[in-house]
Amino acid sequence: MKNEMFVAHCHSSQERQSHHSEAMKKNLITRMNRIEGQIRGIHSLIMKETYCDDVLTQISSASSALNSVSKILLEEHMKSCVIERLADGETEVIEEVISTVRDLLQSKSAVLPGDEGTLDSHLTTLGERARKIKELISEDTYCNTVLSHIASLQSGLQGVSEKLLQQHMKICLGERLQNNDAEAIRDMMITVKKLMK
């Protein structure tokens, strides 16, 4: 069954496309639906002023799910599009793949200004990015383009995570330390470790 999902190939036209099998499209879109739901859930948690650590855990989960989508898509891209283009003598595909992998690994976070409204609108934008990725997948958009959109969504999640971590450290942790809560530092380290996975 897994091999059936890797029936993709690229056109040599100016606008490259990937032709995912229906099973692959369904798998990727189902995963993106879950991620989009996670982003809506994160948005809801923030609007309800849920404890920062719980929200950060959800962001970490969404980020991990997004990493899984990118791994599946990158594997398919390497097994089909890249091999096909190399066979056609298009060695520039190697630099393209290196650049894509670099973007996926670097997780450049989007810098967010300081107010809550910005976090709200940023999460709305992340939901729109997730929907765009699903659209690109269903339209057989070239894998590299979809992976670039995934890297952008990943960096947006990283930006939200960093903003919440800052707030958590300033407000939640600060209050707990003022109240001589000995577990505060331990809890913070647990949160940071979750985000670093």
119 within domain boundaries: yes
Both structure tokens of 186: 């331990």
Residue 43 lies in a domain: yes
Computed over every residue of the chain, the mean pLDDT equals 82
Confidence label for 51 from pLDDT (cuts 50, 70 and 90): confident
Can you tell me whether residue 18 is helix, strand or coil? strand
Q: Has residue 197 been placed in a domain?
A: no
Q: Is residue 190 part of a domain?
A: no
Answer yes or no: are the C-beta atoms of 104 and 153 closer than 8 Å.
Answer: no
Hey, CA dihedral for 43, 48, 49, 55, is it positive or negative? negative
9 lies in a domain? yes
Q: What are 1-41's pLDDT values in tens digits?
A: 344 443 444 444 346 677 678 899 999 999 999 999 999 99
Cα Rg, the chain, nearest whole Å: 19
Task: Determine the pLDDT at residue 4.
Answer: 41
Number of H helices, E strands in the chain: 8, 0
Domain, as residue range, for 56: 3-160
Kindly tell me if the per-residue pLDDT of 109 is higher than 60.
no
Question: pLDDT, tens digit, for every residue of 59-69?
Answer: 999 999 999 99
Has residue 165 been placed in a domain? no
For the chain, the domain total comes to 1
In a domain, 19, yes or no: yes
pLDDT exceeds cutoff 90 at 192: no
pLDDT: which is higher, 189 or 142: 142
| pTM (2 d.p.) | 0.80
Whether residue 113 lies inside any domain: the answer is yes
